[in-house]
Amino acid sequence: MNKKFLISGGAGFIGSAVIRYIINNTSHSVVNVDNLTYAGNLDSLLSVENDPRYEFEKVDICNSKDIGLVLNKHKPDIIMHLAAESHVDRSIDSPRKFIETNILGTYVLLEQSKEYWLSLNDKKKNKFKFHHVSTDEVYGDLGQKDILFTEETPYAPSSPYAASKASSDHLVRAWHRTFNLPTLITNCSNNYGPYQFPEKLIPLMILNAIEGKPLPVYGNGRQVRDWLYVDDHAKALLLVALEGEIGSTYNIGGNNQLQNIEVVQILCDILDDLAPSKIDDIRHYKQLVTNVEDRAGHDLRYAIDATKITKDLNWKPDETFASGIKKTVKWYLENINWCDRVKDGSYQGERLGTSQS
């Protein structure tokens, strides 16, 4: 049965991957609700924007009136909530926006969704779902020998970003428990892949390297992250939204634990092979690695136990880190135009006329 999804934050890195996946691989339809902050990029949706099953609403999730209007206009079956401020460094420099969007915005979306859900006829009401997309950072950090994060791990967020996401998860649980809103929560590990904003580790390193700029690694680079290819996350999100048990939480992870420095070294090796430097002094990109002062409160290790989603919903990632990272590097090398438009700011103004791969 075809569903109508309302996806908040659909112009972001993961949201756009979910939308491309739904439009290209299913017959469901999508309304993308996004107010296009610096992280929102409609260029990432060029390949699907003319599909009749795709619509876009430029709306702020903190605006109750506009959210109410959008819900009543589009009458979605499933809300998938990804809109957020998502960059830890920005949350350290200016936390307020994180509190507003991630906590207040989630509250507004929950309240308006509840009103909308209560107004539905029984048939539609019984099928409605609110799926909140969250992060493994809510669990805090792990020692090198600790067991992995499960759905039962107590919350212990470290950064303002993680604390704001933890708060939003608690709100979603409260709206389920108190008002019976049919909710689902997913907590995922670090994503990587095409169309990621170049402030994040992997695109930053690729783009700096090919320009011969330093590759800044926080502290000793020994922080461990569990990496998941973004399309594998998109597939998991769709599965949970369609088949997950109401009221449940699912952890999603790639089972790819790597130190940040290892990730940078792997990227350098791939780039040496695919795009050797034309600058005389740079024989290997690893020469560009530069250790910089560590991030305040930097978590040592995140790692997800994805047993529940694997067992209950039969999900597993298609990409290994080796295959996904190679695809990712190739994508950035072949889509320099997308990156240039982000860097010069034109992605926020004039639209591109032609599709890019």
Ligand X SMILES: NC(=O)c1ccc[n+]([C@@H]2O[C@H](COP(=O)([O-])OP(=O)(O)OC[C@H]3O[C@@H](n4cnc5c(N)ncnc54)[C@H](O)[C@@H]3O)[C@@H](O)[C@H]2O)c1
The answer to whether 302 contacts ligand X (rule: CB under 6 A) is no
- Least distance (Å) between residue 333 CB and ligand X: 21
The answer to whether 15 contacts ligand X (rule: CB under 6 A) is yes
Catalytic residues: 136-137, 161
- Least distance (Å) between residue 82 CB and ligand X: 4
- Distances 182 to 16, 62, 110, 111, 129 between C-alpha atoms, Å: 24, 21, 11, 13, 5
The answer to whether 201 contacts ligand X (rule: CB under 6 A) is no
Q: Which of 7, 23, 31, 62 binds ligand X (CB under 6 A)?
A: 62
The answer to whether 11 contacts ligand X (rule: CB under 6 A) is yes
Measured in degrees and rounded to the nearest 5, phi and psi for residue 140 equal 80, -155
The string of DSSP letters for 217-270 reads EETTS--EEE-EEHHHHHHHHHHHHHHSPTT-EEEE--S-EEEHHHHHHHHHHH
Q: Which of 84, 202, 209, 303 binds ligand X (CB under 6 A)?
A: 84
CA contacts within 13 A on the Cβ side of 78: 25
Q: Which of left, alpha, beta for 91 (phi over 0: left; psi -120 to 50: alpha)?
A: alpha
The answer to whether 197 contacts ligand X (rule: CB under 6 A) is yes
Choose the stretch contacting ligand X; rule: CB under 6 A; options: 184-192, 205-213, 281-289, 300-308. Answer: 184-192
The answer to whether 223 contacts ligand X (rule: CB under 6 A) is no
- Least distance (Å) between residue 225 CB and ligand X: 9
Which tokens in the block code for residue 289? 């690695």
Cα–Cα distance between 126 and 143 in angstroms, integer?
43
The answer to whether 325 contacts ligand X (rule: CB under 6 A) is no
Q: Which of 28, 45, 88, 101 binds ligand X (CB under 6 A)?
A: 101
The answer to whether 12 contacts ligand X (rule: CB under 6 A) is yes
The answer to whether 22 contacts ligand X (rule: CB under 6 A) is no
Cα–Cα distance between 44 and 162 in angstroms, integer?
26
The answer to whether 35 contacts ligand X (rule: CB under 6 A) is yes
Q: How many other C-beta atoms are found inside a 10 Å radius of the C-beta of residue 122?
A: 7
Whether the Cβ atoms of residue 356 and residue 46 lie closer than 8 Å to each other: yes
Q: Where are the alpha helices (DSSP H) in 119-193?
A: 122-127, 160-179
The answer to whether 83 contacts ligand X (rule: CB under 6 A) is yes
Nearest of 129, 127, 149, 128 to residue 137 by alpha carbon: 149
- Least distance (Å) between residue 5 CB and ligand X: 15
Q: How many residues bind ligand X (CB under 6 A)?
A: 30
| Residues 121-140 interacting with ligand X (rule: CB under 6 A) | 133-135
- Least distance (Å) between residue 282 CB and ligand X: 29
Count of positions (residues) in the chain: 357
Q: Which residues bind ligand X (CB under 6 A)?
A: 8-9, 11-15, 34-37, 39-40, 60-62, 82-84, 86, 101, 105, 133-135, 165, 188, 190-191, 197
